[in-house]
Chain A
Amino acid sequence: MRQKPRSAGGVLRWLLVVAAWSALAAALARAQAPAVEYAVKATDLYKFVPFVEWPPEALPPSDPLVICVVGRDRVSDLVDEAVNGQTSAGHPIRVVHGQSGSLRDAHCNILYVALRGAAAVDALDRVRGQPVLTVTDAAQEPRAAGVVNFVVIDNRVRFEIDQHAAAENHLVISSKLLSLAIRVTPRP
């Protein structure tokens, strides 16, 4: 009679140890370690969807949402993996990797610019005025920054939002998202 509870207690203790380890692993993963940083950014791309309002003709309901990626960096490499099988606000998500030149016909809803300098500016200019949420990573100069620009502060991924650019692209950014931005460039 005394054996059974002891063995049950043993199992429980073993389970607790496993849980503790997995929790620790999760915590380690969520820590803004350099490797994790890019994964977070890749994930954030589709997480923006609920907080952004596209013009209806640009994103009819239940149409796939297209995330375009130009250039290549450590984030772009992870986008496919992060988005795989995800839906957001009823839209299945598709990732299209391409060149800046093909952007006009790509019908992008979100454009991640994995480019630097003039190339980035060029890519952004190509979709300027179109209903495309442009996202850049740690752009140094304002012209090279998209509507959303990732920055890393205190080892955490944060972002800036350019309301001016958003307005140019006929996008409305939710105040919820704005409240999370570390800097918001106001509308003109």
Chain B
Amino acid sequence: MDAERRSFTTLPILGMDRTNFMPGVAAAGVLLLVLVGVVIVLYNEQAYRDAKTQQVEAQSRILASTVTAALAFDDRKAAQEAVNALAVDPQIRAAAVYDAHGDLFASYTGTGGPAVPKAVNDISPAAEREQLVVTTPVRQGSVAVGTIYVQTAIDPISRRFQRYVALTLLVTMAALIFVLLGFAQRRLTEVNERLRRQGEELSDVNENLRAQIEQRENVEATLRQVQKMEAMGQLTGGIAHDFNNLLQVIIGNLEVLRRRNLAPGDDAKRMVDAAIRGGQRAATLTQRLLAFARRQPLDPKPIDVNKLVAGMSELLHRTLGESITIETVLAGGIWRVAADANQLENALLNLAVNARDAMPDGGRLTIETANAHLDEAYADANEVKAGQYALIAVSDTGSGMPPDVVAKAFEPFFTTKDVGKGSGLGLSQVYGFIKQSGGHAKIYSELSQGTTIKLYLPRLTVAADAHDGTLDAAALPAGDRDRLVLVVEDDEDVRAHAVSILTELGYPVLEAVDGASALQLLEAHAEIRMLFTDVGLPGGLNGRQLADEARKRRPELFVLYTTGYARNAIVHQGRLDPGVELITKPFTFSSLATKVNAVFERRDGRGAQAH
């Protein structure tokens, strides 16, 4: 493409150098031609005149020699005859012979010719251009015996110029050709100039088009990647959600079985424990899938990234081992961000583990923080909003990744590790989490140099409702007989599981399958203290709408949501609304116990807050 363009713009265009030269040459040529023509005409004119003079002189000399005898013997008659002989030349207008005394001796006047002078002394030179006067002495030996006078007309100018017609035509034609050539040259030059300009424009347009195509290709590639990730997110999200519900049922029932019927040391209890562990691992896996699909419920809170990274150093040392040195470079005045602190720690741990795996012989892990600004150009090319971000960069001195691996590194189930050693979900989970948090993740890697993964989290500008969310509970809090819980869940197994846990904890429980029946129960039982509802409900009202409706009637009502993944109804742009309590499925006996108690306690401790 470059070579083509170059050859096109430097295409030699004929005649360019003679742009201003040619018209001058044409004009000079025409002038020269005309000048030469005039010179030739003048020369011919003079030559004609000379020839005519010579001719007339010859005639007069002949006459002179003819009339010598007549003059010598005073024979006017003979002289007259000799003079009259000139009549054969029609151009001779007058002729005369004068004797030795200068007196007129004989004369001849042609038709229309002038009167001859009376004496030699009266002879005057030619009066007009169109006549020629020649006088010749008549000599007898060395003695002048008289004078001959001959006046001739020369060809009239019109006749003379007839001879120059051909020449004039030639000169005119040549001049015309010159002029035409000049015009043609000028025209050609103009056309060439226009062609050149058009060529330039064309190459500009071409260049423009090429740039546009390139840009479009880039955008399309990015879009394709985004769409691919989106599609995979949809797929994994859908599957994970259903899996989640199924796992809820499996784990829930296994727990009920373990708690109720089995004595410690029993083989059956061991098997149930193993099944529960498997189920929980499966649940973890689906959580990570949901994270990638950006459907994990997040609990974003204002975070000081530096504090978070510093707080992780002990954990990281333990995780990475002695062979890897950890260096943290923390920028001062780092911007605060809003993110789910647990998930962010998870993400950093994920990256650290990946780094460790890339440095089997040891190395250095560097975690840097910085304030960063992503400009429009970078933002457009990377599907992220331009603006201010807090950056956490995790670098290793490991083996690095080739570009094709970098391109796929964020895709789920893509792994370079041996089968069974990696799930292929670590980086995709990080990616999903960062995207869901409104941030941006980027991999820079060089083979045998190392890899840097940069996580950008949007700067927090609005002071968010900050509440310390230490959800840890040491012991399982017992239920309260006065706290009637209404469980709303369309999935019968999940509902039964939830009811059994709550009942076991000591809470009185009512249950409903959809929003409408739940509202009826609320109306009928004023003692209901908590609404524990699935977010996704059939029959017109979803969990959020049900809660809103319930709160209208019972502002003091506690609400706890549960969901496989958070839909828009409960999660605005993937974030939990401030003040909304949520427990994700599959929940365990202890996690539900802790959560329900926490909801009751917090509300009681701080006073009921209308949503």
Contact = CB atoms under 8 A, between A and B. Distances in A.
Nearest to A91: B141
B69 interface: yes
Contact count band on B: 10 to 19
Interface stretch (A120-128, A130-138, A162-170, A172-180): A172-180
Contacts of A157: 73-74
B66 A176 contact: yes
B75 A180 contact: yes
Interface in A69-106: 88-90
B228 interface: no
Interface residues of A, number: 19
Given A26-B101, A30-B74, A40-B74, A180 B69 contact: yes
Contacts of A40: 74
B74 A51 contact: no
A90 B141 contact: yes
Interface of A is mostly: helix
A177 B66 CA distance: 10
Contacts of B74: 30, 40, 156-157
A157 B75 CA distance: 9
Interface string B60-93: 0000011011101111001000000000000000
A156 B73 CA distance: 10
Contact of B70 (A30, A50, A159, A180): A180
Given A26-B101, A180-B78, A174 B141 contact: no
A107 to B, nearest CB: 22
Contacts of A158: 75
Nearest to A154: B77
A180 B76 CA distance: 10
A24 B68 CA distance: 25
Interface string B129-142: 00000000000110
Contact of A51 (B69, B75, B101): B69
B73 A47 contact: yes
Nearest to A179: B78
A177 B67 CA distance: 10
A179 B66 CA distance: 10
Contact of B141 (A26, A44, A50): A50
B68 A180 contact: no
Interface string A141-163: 00000000000000011110000
A40 B73 CA distance: 9
A89 B143 CA distance: 9
Nearest to B119: A23
B69 A174 contact: yes
Contacts of B65: 176
Contacts of B78: 179-180
Contacts of A156: 74
Contacts of B69: 51, 174, 176-177, 179-180
Interface string A8-31: 000000000000000000100010
B68 A50 contact: yes
Contacts of A26: 101
A51 B68 CA distance: 10
Given A26-B101, A30-B74, A44-B73, A176 B68 contact: yes
Given A26-B101, A176-B68, A50 B140 contact: yes
Nearest to A50: B140
Contacts of A174: 69
Nearest to B66: A176
Given A180-B75, A180-B78, A88 B70 contact: no
A158 B65 CA distance: 20
A44 B75 CA distance: 12
A148 to B, nearest CB: 11
A41 B73 CA distance: 9
A182 to B, nearest CB: 10
Contacts of B66: 176
Contact of A88 (B73, B75, B101, B141): B141
A156 B65 CA distance: 23
A50 to B, nearest CB: 5
14 contacts: A26-B101, A30-B74, A44-B73, A47-B72, A50-B68, A50-B72, A50-B141, A88-B140, A89-B141, A90-B141, A176-B65, A176-B70, A179-B70, A180-B78
Name the 9 nearest CB pairs between A and B, nearest first: A176-B69, A47-B72, A89-B141, A180-B75, A180-B78, A177-B69, A180-B69, A50-B140, A180-B73
Interface of B: 65-66, 68-70, 72-75, 78, 101, 140-141
Given A40-B74, A47-B73, A180-B78, 18 more contacts: A26-B101, A44-B73, A50-B68, A51-B69, A51-B72, A88-B141, A89-B140, A90-B141, A157-B73, A157-B74, A159-B73, A176-B65, A176-B66, A176-B68, A177-B69, A177-B73, A179-B69, A180-B69
